[in-house]
Amino acid sequence: MALGMILAYESIMGFKCTSILADDLTGANDTAIQFVNEGLSSLVLTHTGGTNSSSFGNYDVIALNSGSRSMKAPDAYRTARDLTARFRTTLDGGRLYKKVDSVLRGNPAAELSAVMDELDIPLAVVAPSFPANQSIVRQGKLNSGSAGIDAVDIFSRGIKGKAGGIALEEIRGGPARAARYMLDRHADGVNVFVADAVTDDDLEIIYHSSLLLDRPLVLSGSAALARHMARDMSRSRAGRLVRPERIPFSGGPVLVVAGTRQAETAAQLTTLSRINSSPIIRFKTELVCRGKAADAVLAAFSEASRIMGDSGDLCIIAVESMFKSEIPAGDVDRLEAESPDSAAAVSAALGSLADRLLGTFGFSVLISTGGDTTLGVCRSLGVEGIEPVAEICPGIPLGRIVGGPYEGRSMVTKSGRFGNQESLLEIQRFLKSAQDECIAERKKKII
């Protein structure tokens, strides 16, 4: 669900391959899974360093995390522009889709400008809506369970050109009408269009209207808009689609690591804990911020060892600040610490804890919530990539770890604000169903 872009290029195999550049890891995952849903293969790379384009030909979709969400706007601009130039050279250009966070966190305008500047494309269409996760844009205002955000104003203030909205009535007039509207206003100087969208059907019209513009543009939106590009790609790949495989989970204990402070995740953890009679281990982030990360890791590991020693099959770790009542409503998906350095330290400490727990108790599945947390965990575990396998809930994918000592184990990534109160329970039920299918399959082979 994070800021990113998709570059499509002609591969040596003679068909288009797609690349996703996201500003956090959960965003790369929630977009890549949309293509897997349509029968396309994908790989999410956890960081920008050391990527090798020679391996890209094995996948239809490559997703890359830029890690730029918490940067200041000038730094995010430089990062996005540098990566656009790098991918432009490596992937030989082509169509482009720029993914934005569905509540416009991070630096959406600065990064959009960077992409447009680097590619010298003066036209962009932006649709941040993700209706399945209660994010919609109406009359230029983005609403997601709180006061509306002026989406048009965000881009007006953050780009070099002129931004304008596309009203719902123009979109629901059909792709041709929406395209004519954009071309007319583009002739008057508007170069970034922020589109209203309340339903998935609206997003489909936006996607098809962009195809009718018949000129270079940056198509931009949440993972929900990317889904329509995926469907379009799948139609053009008849006979080359990947068959859905069995979910890679045959049973075993589950580890949950939550570093977000979002109220949605707090409610989900509370429900999961209550239904399973499994306590939530509260990770002491204030120790990390005072330079005592090792003490925080040891305290949480000791408590987890007691729980797992009692024949536990579920271990829940959450930052202590998640449950403090003084956290302001609508707080962003960040850790307790306010500075980027402290947030990175907490993420790294949670990663160190996850590494120790996985190595000691052999957890089969890791569920990670929050983009910063997920990146910190992956770095500590030596994870090079994640192969998305299935979308459990909207924007919440299950994947297979690639690289490092835990290669092949399952990982679920979730943005802090995604889902409803029972989403973690739904994930647990999904895993149980996959386990039952695996057991049934083994029994058939024995018979």
Average pLDDT over residues 85-102: 69
Same structural domain for residues 209 and 287?
A: no
Average pLDDT over residues 383-406: 92
User: Is 28:221 a contact under the CB 8 Å cutoff?
Assistant: no
- Angle, alpha carbons 214-220-221 (nearest 5°): 135
Same structural domain for residues 37 and 70?
A: yes
What tokens were used for 359? 């190595």
The answer on pLDDT for 115 being more than 60 is: yes
The answer on pLDDT for 182 being more than 90 is: yes
Measured CA to CA, the distance from residue 398 to residue 346 in angstroms comes to 24
Same structural domain for residues 127 and 22?
A: yes
Handedness of CA 261, 263, 268, 273 (dihedral sign): positive
Which residue among 210, 236, 262 closes a domain?
236
Orientation angle between helical segments 151-158 and 108-119, nearest 10 degrees: 50
The answer on pLDDT for 6 being more than 70 is: no
Average pLDDT over residues 367-375: 89
Mean predicted lDDT score pLDDT of the chain = 84
Same structural domain for residues 123 and 214?
A: yes
Strand partners for 20:
6, 63
Strand partners for 21:
5, 64
pLDDT interval class at 54 (50, 70, 90) = low
Q: Which distant-in-sequence residues (6+ apart) come within 8 Å of 222 by Cβ?
A: 1, 99, 100, 101, 102, 127, 128, 129, 130, 135
Same structural domain for residues 262 and 217?
A: no
* 246 within some domain: no
Average pLDDT over residues 282-303: 94
Strand partners for 333:
none
Same structural domain for residues 167 and 279?
A: no
* 274 within some domain: yes
User: Is 17:11 a contact under the CB 8 Å cutoff?
Assistant: yes
Write down the pLDDT at residue 325.
Answer: 44
Which residue among 209, 236, 263 closes a domain?
236
Q: What is the pTM of this model?
A: 0.86
For residue 48, with 0-12 CB atoms within 10 Å meaning exposed, 13-18 middle and 19 or more buried, which class applies?
middle
Question: Given the structure tokens 């609508």, which residue do they identify?
Answer: 330
The answer on pLDDT for 70 being more than 90 is: no
Write down the pLDDT at residue 55.
Answer: 57
Measured CA to CA, the distance from residue 384 to residue 390 in angstroms comes to 19
The answer on pLDDT for 44 being more than 60 is: yes
Residue 36 is which amino acid? V
Write down the pLDDT at residue 442.
Answer: 61
pLDDT interval class at 108 (50, 70, 90) = very high
Same structural domain for residues 329 and 202?
A: no
The answer on pLDDT for 1 being more than 60 is: no
Write down the pLDDT at residue 17.
Answer: 62
Measured CA to CA, the distance from residue 288 to residue 297 in angstroms comes to 9
* 114 within some domain: yes
User: Is 78:115 a contact under the CB 8 Å cutoff?
Assistant: no
* 86 within some domain: yes
The C-alpha torsion from 136 through 139 and 141 to 145, rounded to 10°, is: -40
- Between these two residues, 293 and 311, which has the higher pLDDT value? 293
Measuring CA to CA, how many Å separate 113 from each of 19, 372, 426? Answer: 19, 24, 39
pLDDT interval class at 383 (50, 70, 90) = very high
- Between these two residues, 238 and 335, which has the higher pLDDT value? 238
Helix, strand, coil % over all residues of the chain, rounded to 5: 45, 20, 35
Q: What is the CA radius of gyration of the chain?
A: 21
Average pLDDT over residues 221-246: 78
CATH code of the domain containing 398: 3.40.980.20
Measured CA to CA, the distance from residue 336 to residue 289 in angstroms comes to 9
Measured CA to CA, the distance from residue 200 to residue 207 in angstroms comes to 11
* 244 within some domain: no
Rounded to 5 degrees, what are φ and ψ at 64?
-130, 135
Average pLDDT over residues 153-172: 94
* 243 within some domain: no
Measured CA to CA, the distance from residue 299 to residue 436 in angstroms comes to 35
CB atoms inside a 10 Å sphere around CB 344: 18
Coil, helix or strand at residue 345? helix
- Between these two residues, 42 and 206, which has the higher pLDDT value? 206
Write down the pLDDT at residue 433.
Answer: 87
The answer on pLDDT for 91 being more than 60 is: no
Same structural domain for residues 214 and 343?
A: no
Orientation angle between helical segments 25-36 and 371-381, nearest 10 degrees: 90
**Of the ranges 64-68, 166-170, 324-328, which one carries the lowest mean pLDDT score?**
324-328
Orientation angle between helical segments 423-446 and 263-276, nearest 10 degrees: 50
Write down the pLDDT at residue 161.
Answer: 87
**Of the ranges 85-99, 213-227, 239-253, 419-433, which one carries the lowest mean pLDDT score?**
239-253
CATH code of the domain containing 176: 3.40.50.10840
Write down the pLDDT at residue 56.
Answer: 58
Same structural domain for residues 181 and 261?
A: no
Measured CA to CA, the distance from residue 412 to residue 399 in angstroms comes to 6
Which pLDDT tens digit goes with each residue over 427-439? 999 998 887 776 5
Same structural domain for residues 147 and 294?
A: no
Same structural domain for residues 68 and 187?
A: yes
Measured CA to CA, the distance from residue 293 to residue 237 in angstroms comes to 49
Write down the pLDDT at residue 404.
Answer: 92
Look at the chain and report how many structural domains it folds into. Answer: 2
The answer on pLDDT for 11 being more than 90 is: no
Measured CA to CA, the distance from residue 47 to residue 66 in angstroms comes to 6
Average pLDDT over residues 55-72: 80
User: Is 360:388 a contact under the CB 8 Å cutoff?
Assistant: no
Strand partners for 142:
137, 149
- Between these two residues, 316 and 245, which has the higher pLDDT value? 316
| Residue 190: domain span | 4-236
Same structural domain for residues 103 and 159?
A: yes
* 299 within some domain: yes
Measured CA to CA, the distance from residue 71 to residue 5 in angstroms comes to 17
Which pLDDT tens digit goes with each residue over 188-201? 999 999 999 999 99
Which residue among 174, 202, 236 closes a domain?
236
Terminal-to-terminal C-alpha distance of the chain:
45
Write down the pLDDT at residue 10.
Answer: 39
Half-sphere exposure of 360 (CA within 13 A, CB side): 15
- Angle, alpha carbons 243-248-253 (nearest 5°): 165
Coil, helix or strand at residue 411? strand
* 249 within some domain: no
Residue 14 is which amino acid? G
